[in-house]
Structure 1
């Protein structure tokens, strides 16, 4: 049994993508010269499944993963049929429902041999194959449905009769692959995209085409070269450090589909055509690890769901195995403790490494189109102090006007928060040009974010920013963000500095402006806490029986005020959310704002002051 368990370590895996011979994408018919014969050939071959089952005898977590998937499959047996139902312009919820059903049911059939799972999965496949279309006008829907149908056809091939196979192939071609080829031929926008649509659409097409490549080779012969040419545009967005400009939520979506697509190439063709070597991909597993605070909430940048929290993500196992990184596997095992696994955890399973094999830094810097710095006081304390700061480009896909935004955890509470996305169906939600309707929505504009405000106006939607200085992983970590472009209508220069001070027991947020005209300067923070103002330059925040004290250290005469963050429909309401504000009307020249955010720790002590010195001397 030991040799079977060794196969399941992250150093080897059941298959090891990184060890595959990499080569440029071949053209035309030669793309299928290495096609694996027979089925299943996508994601999880029969030999890999046999090893997985053998290893599960002695691996309790692996056994739990299987039990979770079987429980899902049992639930799917009772679900009503899949029907064509769009929400707004999207069929996406149906495509994803189908995908979840097929993976769980087909894997349960392959693991147990119980025909009831195969029968129900086949019914689901035929239901969606009978749809009028897979909604190619919103091609994510088509891609995810092609993924589901491709995997279902491949994994259930042995128990499908030939008429059923033909029905599924015909639908996959007519409703998935042919519409995809038309987009490739026209150079459609997602083919040239640098973000999640690229990975989702290309990978969905790859999986569908490779599933039927022996009977209908012309589709794979065209789709594989087109997808391999397109994918680097999006994979380059991970560079140089693994961050994802669309935020942690879309990191998960994009990275799962990266894993799906590259796994399909490897298992079906024996190569990932050099795509794994693209800078940043190997580091991308650090992004969800370091952007998760001790509360479990993400640094909620971009169009992320409200209170978006770290949850199990099978692609972390894929990253661990592919790039031989034990921290990725260890972090995912921590997430699976007490939480349900999904089919992907079995497909890419990586055994838990020993704790001594992993090392985490307290602080981390990510470069790229969006730059992020995170700092924390500890990893093993749920009450630890954590702050995350964002820089980058306001026009990044799904971006908000939030350069310099910060979020803060302490005492098990998210004190400074980001409200996240609003309803994608709002009129003009995607109109992101300067003056675009997108920036009239509260959750997306500067007014809801924890950023400076000059004259109550938004940041420039076309602005870029970067960290002017970082000095992290020491006793007093600091990060300085150059925000000059964001506020150029009012200031000749704008810089924000954030530091953890006094042994990482408090955070200091300091902004410096050289104003070009007289205007109001405001410091703001969005919070769920109850707020008591004063006396003097102090605000006491209370939430979940914990306390945080905000104190204005500069300028000396300033005090806080409180405003509601609630909005009217059709925007989301933000019920009970408040804004802690400090306003300096008719400011001019050089202005410095410094705010100390100090938790009241369990020992009853809190940091009450900090030395204020120019950011140039930080």
Structure 2
């Protein structure tokens, strides 16, 4: 075994030697200057800028105090231990990053020795781990970022023995494993792994740059050159393919990388101007409804949260209105609620003196973005808590972390989410039962998970069949007209073999109610179309084509305008298999419609908030007559 490790180390050294020439001609060269420690994100003396922000705004004072209070809570906790869960050490790496980032911030801003001592204790314990689990390299990436921040920010005050062990661990357990082809396939992928792993390795390289200059240059250059792969997925307009939850992961680490590179080298090497990247702030801003919950398609949690990276985007765009949702969270939620966010101290850096009270209301109420998972997001107001909100998606189940939810939507009115999405199920709960969760083929075991298929999303199921993984549904147009905010998608390839054509449109009409219209064409055989909507409301069928939904003392009517011959029904959301997560308090409501062979037909459903029934009398026009603007960038 020792011989094997020696051979692998020799291979890593050989790789470094063969790539050293490229390192001299990359963005970072031997002539590139680097600041002294601290050099990652916050240079020496820049604490004064944060102190000025804190003194000028009570909201930032509360956030600062919450970080210090949480750092105090960490003082008596034992360091994290190397306890692996399944194939992951990731929860330990994330907690290490949270602790070390918080404690390092607390020390730099307060100069109280207790925070330095506790951070050093944490890092020395982690340096002693046998490894940081390179077989699941996200674990290494986050652990390396944690250790790099602590080593860099506390560099002048760490004991010599601690400094030596931490530096050695960053090199041997972080950077060197990233040179092994067995562990670095993430360099070639276009999803969050690339963003997180490149960021973590770059932080490690920045931390020990003066001790390993050739290796550090090589790793930073490699990161600058390969992180553009996932950044291309924001093109053309900023829609992030992996959804809200993984935006908070992949994009935040991309911002951590860009911010650190720009701070250390005084330039961004073209990264910030990658098409669509800065525009993704508009996507994230519009992904949250008036209730505060996100449009949680794909593998995302059901809630929403403060996103520190949005402050970085606001600075780059010179547009503080993109912070409207963050403003609400900062003003209406206790600062202590946010201390589980391991990147929270970065918000104090990226806040850049922004007064929370001076964040203006956004002017646009409709946002649409193309790409591999296109979305349209619309609302009747940014300031009215009772506003109508609709999030609508096209896309493909072949995208990383995707569900079979093409054509699905969420809808809110009167402060209540009526049409919901289950979101993700915890990976370990499935992997521990032997489920191969990340296959993307039509017959992948992923599609045996109850929550992940079209049968429990707010879309169509044809002949009880799954959507086609290879299919792709573009957003074919959208409208910002206040009387008819709308978007349409062509889902035909998603139902290939089941339907000849399938188009869906969703509109907010007259600021009062929502229309969902499907226009379908059958194959040479008859089809049974099931229309479903998942809801947390209590459902009462009040007629063949009508249901009444009640929740939190509020009411909404679901009314099928066409076809006339349907029977409204509900379906259970009880998990069918022992590995499926429970779904208490939820119901599938909808109907089935039989369509003869080779015929065209339409399904038109109205979602009518209480007190709007008298307004829901307009004839719904065919989708061809809906106003359509092309998506930005197309």
Query: TM-score when scaled to structure 2?
Result: 0.89
Counterpart residue number, 2:313: 319
Q: Whole-Å Cα distance in 2 between the matches of residues 457 and 613 of structure 1?
A: 29
CA deviation vs aligned residue, 1:465-501 (integer Å, no higher than 9, x gap): 1122212243111211101001121211111111111
Deviation at 1:607, TM superposition (A): 4.0
Q: What are the within-5 Å matches in structure 2 for residues 86-125 of structure 1? A: 86-125=84-123
Q: Whole-Å Cα distance in 2 between the matches of residues 55 and 424 of structure 1?
A: 40
Distance 1:180 1:364, change over 3 A: same
Q: Retained in 2: the 8 A contact 1:524–1:581?
A: yes
The yes-or-no answer on 1:335 pairing with 2:335 is no
Q: Retained in 2: the 8 A contact 1:413–1:543?
A: yes
Q: Whole-Å Cα distance in 2 between the matches of residues 332 and 537 of structure 1?
A: 40
Deviation at 1:235, TM superposition (A): 1.0
Distance 1:330 1:582, change over 3 A: closer
Deviation at 1:606, TM superposition (A): 5.2
Correspondence for 1:297 among 290, 293, 296: 293
Q: What are the within-5 Å matches in structure 2 for residues 188-203 of structure 1? A: 188-203=184-199
CA deviation vs aligned residue, 1:414-442 (integer Å, no higher than 9, x gap): 11111111232321211220111111111
Q: What are the within-5 Å matches in structure 2 for residues 445-594 of structure 1? A: 445-501=453-509, 503-516=510-523, 517-567=525-575, 568-585=577-594, 587-588=596-597, 589-594=599-604
Counterpart residue number, 2:48: 50
Distance 1:582 1:133, change over 3 A: same
Deviation at 1:79, TM superposition (A): 1.9
Q: What are the within-5 Å matches in structure 2 for residues 168-567 of structure 1? A: 168-183=166-181, 188-305=184-301, 307-309=302-304, 311-337=305-331, 338-340=333-335, 342-350=344-352, 351-352=354-355, 355=358, 359-425=362-428, 426=430, 427-501=435-509, 503-516=510-523, 517-567=525-575
Q: Whole-Å Cα distance in 2 between the matches of residues 492 and 89 of structure 1?
A: 43
Distance 1:162 1:32, change over 3 A: farther
Q: How many residues align?
A: 588
Deviation at 1:245, TM superposition (A): 0.6
Correspondence for 2:141 among 140, 143, 157: 143
Deviation at 1:398, TM superposition (A): 0.3
CA deviation vs aligned residue, 1:361-411 (integer Å, no higher than 9, x gap): 111111111111111111111111111110122211000111110111011
Q: Whole-Å Cα distance in 1 between the matches of residues 71 and 56 of structure 2?
A: 23
Q: Which runs of 5+ in 2 are unaligned?
A: 1-21, 339-343, 627-634
Deviation at 1:329, TM superposition (A): 4.0
Q: Retained in 2: the 8 A contact 1:240–1:280?
A: yes
Distance 1:220 1:417, change over 3 A: same
The secondary structure found in structure 2 opposite 1:394 is: coil
The secondary structure found in structure 1 opposite 2:347 is: helix
Q: Retained in 2: the 8 A contact 1:198–1:231?
A: yes
Deviation at 1:30, TM superposition (A): 5.3
Q: Whole-Å Cα distance in 1 between the matches of residues 165 and 359 of structure 2?
A: 53
Deviation at 1:124, TM superposition (A): 0.3
Q: Retained in 2: the 8 A contact 1:192–1:198?
A: yes
Q: Whole-Å Cα distance in 2 between the matches of residues 509 and 416 of structure 1?
A: 12
Distance 1:29 1:596, change over 3 A: closer
Q: Whole-Å Cα distance in 2 between the matches of residues 224 and 612 of structure 1?
A: 56
Q: Which runs of 5+ in 1 are unaligned?
A: 1-23
Q: Whole-Å Cα distance in 1 between the matches of residues 355 and 613 of structure 2?
A: 39
The secondary structure found in structure 2 opposite 1:481 is: strand
Please identify, of 170-179 and 214-223, the stretch whose mean Cα deviation from structure 2 is larger. 214-223
Q: Whole-Å Cα distance in 2 between the matches of residues 95 and 562 of structure 1?
A: 43
Deviation at 1:114, TM superposition (A): 0.7
The secondary structure found in structure 2 opposite 1:375 is: strand
Please identify, of 117-126 and 378-387, the stretch whose mean Cα deviation from structure 2 is larger. 378-387
The secondary structure found in structure 2 opposite 1:157 is: coil
Q: Whole-Å Cα distance in 1 between the matches of residues 196 and 249 of structure 2?
A: 8
Counterpart residue number, 1:6: none
CA deviation vs aligned residue, 1:24-57 (integer Å, no higher than 9, x gap): 9963695353333321111111221122213422
Measured on the aligned residues, the alpha-carbon RMSD in Å equals 1.9
Q: Whole-Å Cα distance in 2 between the matches of residues 261 and 32 of structure 1?
A: 21
Q: Whole-Å Cα distance in 2 between the matches of residues 365 and 112 of structure 1?
A: 44
The secondary structure found in structure 1 opposite 2:79 is: coil
Please identify, of 341-350 and 428-437, the stretch whose mean Cα deviation from structure 2 is larger. 341-350
Query: TM-score when scaled to structure 1?
Result: 0.92
Please identify, of 343-352 and 370-379, the stretch whose mean Cα deviation from structure 2 is larger. 343-352
Distance 1:52 1:383, change over 3 A: same
Counterpart residue number, 1:17: none
Deviation at 1:60, TM superposition (A): 2.1
Distance 1:468 1:322, change over 3 A: closer
Deviation at 1:579, TM superposition (A): 0.6
Distance 1:385 1:30, change over 3 A: closer
Q: Whole-Å Cα distance in 1 between the matches of residues 147 and 178 of structure 2?
A: 15
The secondary structure found in structure 2 opposite 1:31 is: coil
The secondary structure found in structure 2 opposite 1:533 is: strand
Q: What are the within-5 Å matches in structure 2 for residues 11-30 of structure 1? A: 27=25
Q: Whole-Å Cα distance in 2 between the matches of residues 37 and 492 of structure 1?
A: 62
Distance 1:544 1:331, change over 3 A: closer
CA deviation vs aligned residue, 1:273-317 (integer Å, no higher than 9, x gap): 111110111111111211111111111111001x222x2111111
Q: Whole-Å Cα distance in 2 between the matches of residues 607 and 323 of structure 1?
A: 40
Q: Retained in 1: the 8 A contact 2:327–2:359?
A: no
Which of structure 1's runs of 4+ aligned residues deviate more than 6 A? none
Q: What are the within-5 Å matches in structure 2 for residues 595-606 of structure 1? A: 595-601=605-611
The secondary structure found in structure 2 opposite 1:37 is: coil
